[in-house]
């Protein structure tokens, strides 16, 4: 009986562990699965891309599965599989760049390889491997060296790699086979089949355009700058701490811009391989995006320095702070609004110079007000000058930020002509927003041009901001301002 009990206990312990094991495993696995799901949901195009690769692989497998195809291509079909795996990239530009590079490199290197084999045969069976060896060494080394040149590295790196590969393979295996032309033909044709399948699937099944990604990325980056500027008052001035906590999550988004140069360069490079698509023509000025991106990054550098003053515990005395708060807040808010308008103009590919310039002008007027505020708060004692230095520095950098915003606006305006932006607002927007825009356009200019003595920058501005996501709430401030004039 005891043994029976022991055995039962053991059995129960075992069952207990068996019972615990699934829950432990489940915890680990569900965590992983949730991570993967979240990752897929973040950008569903990743899942679609994986499916597309699967489809291309299945299509290319038919070269083996279907008897007539297998009879004509034989084992060379594996070159098609290899091509699909290495050529299929996430973006259309990437696939096209790799596919075309591979195709042309295989063609030229194959031809050269066949030539090299025929040349080497003149030197007899003894001399042949020596000549081939010398040719493979020298062409291989030269092509490898060429890959270091930035121009080649940027656009034809993969082509140079495939050139070395194909030339070496054709030249070396030519020594052992007499059917070198058949081999080269089969290799080339299967690579063409694989490459074509990749390019077709990439373009016609849910395409991911590098150009469009670049376009959206630049607009989003400008929006990130705008978010920082709009939250700046809440971040810097401790009185309005409430805002600070609400917006904190998206405020530091600008940091991603600091290191985004690599991605932008790659996207611009790939975009140039893409045919015209959607709103982008064949010769869309992709390089110009990099100019805008450079200015955007310059602005982000300024934020990075500003951030030091925002997070610093040591700030200027409250009296001084309260004097500069109003102009500083207006400056950053208006500069942010200008950036929002620029980002929207890029997103909708329609010019909106009037609104952008109005915001920038408001921001500049706030700079003047800031100067007045600084004048009226000049230090009374020696110590005061030292105390207000952080505040003065912050203000000074913020003025530079406004200059940056103006430069971005200039670059985008130049770009908008090259990229054939529409002159009016996007017609897809609801009609009433278009009307607000007209109202705004008709009424802002007189205020800005005329020397309205009653107007200072702390008074409400005659500006209606049209947001992408939601219809503008015609607050009392805006509509009153518009009606006043």
Residues 335-394 contacting its own copies, CB under 8 A? 371, 374-376, 378-379, 382-386, 389-390, 392-393
**Looking at 98, 284, 302, 340, which residue binds its own copies (CB under 8 A)?**
302
Phi first, then psi: give them for residue 422, nearest 5 degrees.
-65, 150
Residue with tokens 């060379």: 76
Residue 255 binds its own copies (CB under 8 A): no
Picking from 235, 463, 481, 469, the residue whose alpha carbon sits closest to that of residue 337 is 463
Residue 310 binds its own copies (CB under 8 A): no
User: Which range in 44-52, 110-118, 282-290, 467-475 contacts its own copies by CB under 8 A?
Assistant: 44-52
- Least Cβ distance, residue 244 to its own copies (angstroms): 22
- Least Cβ distance, residue 421 to its own copies (angstroms): 29
**Looking at 9, 12, 241, 304, which residue binds its own copies (CB under 8 A)?**
304
Residue 301 binds its own copies (CB under 8 A): yes
Interface mask toward its own copies for 96-115; x: CB under 8 A: --------------------
Own/partner long-range contacts of 147-151 (Cβ < 8 Å, ≥24 apart): none
User: In sequence order, what are the residues at sequence separation of 6 or more whose Cβ sits closer than 8 angstroms to the Cβ of residue 292?
Assistant: 218, 408, 411, 412, 415
Instruction: Give me the DSSP letters along 333-378.
Output: HHHHHHHHHHHHHHHHTB--HHHHHHHHHHHHHHHHHHHHHHHHT-
Write out the two tokens for 21. Answer: 């094991």
Residue 68 binds its own copies (CB under 8 A): no
**Looking at 68, 124, 262, 476, which residue binds its own copies (CB under 8 A)?**
262
Residue 44 binds its own copies (CB under 8 A): no
**Per-residue DSSP letter, 259:** T
**Looking at 16, 154, 248, 396, which residue binds its own copies (CB under 8 A)?**
396
Rounded CA-CA distance 90/75 in Å is 28
**Looking at 69, 82, 119, 290, which residue binds its own copies (CB under 8 A)?**
82
User: Which range in 254-262, 281-289, 405-413, 456-464 contacts its own copies by CB under 8 A?
Assistant: 254-262
Interacting positions 157-196 with its own copies (CB under 8 A) = 161, 164-165, 168-169, 172-173, 175-176
Cβ atoms 399, 324 nearer than 8 A: no
Residue with tokens 């940056």: 404
Residue closer to its own copies, measured from CB, 171 or 466:
171
Residue 72 binds its own copies (CB under 8 A): no
Region at 278 (left for phi over 0; alpha for psi -120 to 50; beta for the rest): left
Interacting positions 133-162 with its own copies (CB under 8 A) = 133, 136-138, 140-142, 144-145, 148-149, 161
Residue 417 binds its own copies (CB under 8 A): no
Phi first, then psi: give them for residue 453, nearest 5 degrees.
-70, -30
């Amino acid at each position: 009986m005891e043994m029976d009990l022991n055995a039962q206990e053991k059995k129960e312990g075992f069952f207990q562990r068996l019972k615990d094991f699934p829950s432990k495993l489940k915890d680990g696995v569900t965590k992983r699965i949730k991570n993967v799901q979240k990752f897929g949901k973040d950008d569903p195009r990743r899942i679609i891309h994986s499916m597309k690769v699967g489809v291309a692989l299945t299509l290319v497998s038919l070269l083996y599965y279907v008897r007539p195809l297998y009879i004509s291509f034989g084992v060379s079909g594996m070159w098609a599989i290899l091509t699909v795996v290495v050529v299929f990239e996430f973006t259309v530009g990437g696939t096209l760049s790799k596919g075309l590079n591979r195709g042309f490199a295989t063609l030229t290197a194959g031809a050269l390889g066949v030539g090299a084999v025929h040349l080497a045969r003149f030197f007899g069976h003894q001399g042949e491997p020596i000549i081939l060896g010398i040719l493979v060494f020298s062409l291989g080394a030269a092509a490898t060296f060429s890959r270091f040149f930035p121009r080649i590295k940027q656009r034809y790196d993969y082509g140079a790699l495939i050139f070395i590969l194909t030339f070496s393979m054709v030249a070396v295996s030519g020594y052992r086979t007499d059917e070198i032309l058949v081999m080269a033909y089969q290799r080339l044709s299967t690579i063409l089949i694989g490459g074509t399948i990749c390019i077709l699937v990439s373009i016609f099944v849910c395409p991911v355009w590098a150009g469009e990604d670049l376009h959206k990325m630049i607009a989003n980056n400008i929006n990130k700058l705008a978010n920082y500027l709009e939250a700046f008052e809440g971040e810097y001035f401790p009185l309005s701490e409430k805002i600070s906590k609400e917006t904190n999550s998206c405020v530091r988004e600008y940091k991603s811009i600091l290191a985004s140069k690599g991605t932008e360069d790659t996207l611009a490079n790939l975009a140039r391989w893409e045919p015209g698509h959607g709103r982008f023509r064949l010769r869309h000025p992709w390089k110009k995006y990099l100019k805008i991106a450079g200015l955007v990054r310059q602005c982000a550098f300024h934020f990075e320095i500003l951030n030091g003053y925002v997070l610093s515990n040591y700030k200027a005395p409250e009296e001084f702070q309260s004097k500069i708060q109003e102009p500083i807040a207006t400056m950053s808010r208006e500069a942010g609004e200008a950036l929002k308008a620029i980002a929207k103009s890029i997103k909708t590919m329609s010019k909106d110079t009037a609104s952008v310039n109005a915001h920038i002008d408001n921001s500049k007027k706030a700079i003047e007000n800031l100067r007045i505020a600084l004048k009226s708060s000049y230090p009374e004692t020696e110590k005061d000058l030292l105390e207000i230095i952080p505040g003065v520095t912050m203000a000074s950098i913020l003025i530079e930020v406004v200059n940056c915003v103006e430069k971005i606006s200039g670059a985008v305006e130049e770009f908008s002509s090259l990229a054939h932006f529409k002159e009016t607002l996007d017609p897809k927007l609801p009609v009433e927003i278009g009307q607000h825009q007209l109202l705004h356009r008709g009424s802002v200019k007189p205020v800005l041009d005329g020397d309205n003595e009653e107007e200072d920058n702390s008074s409400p501005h005659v500006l209606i901001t049209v947001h992408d996501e939601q219809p503008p709430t015609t607050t009392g401030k805006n509509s009153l301002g518009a009606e006043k004039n």
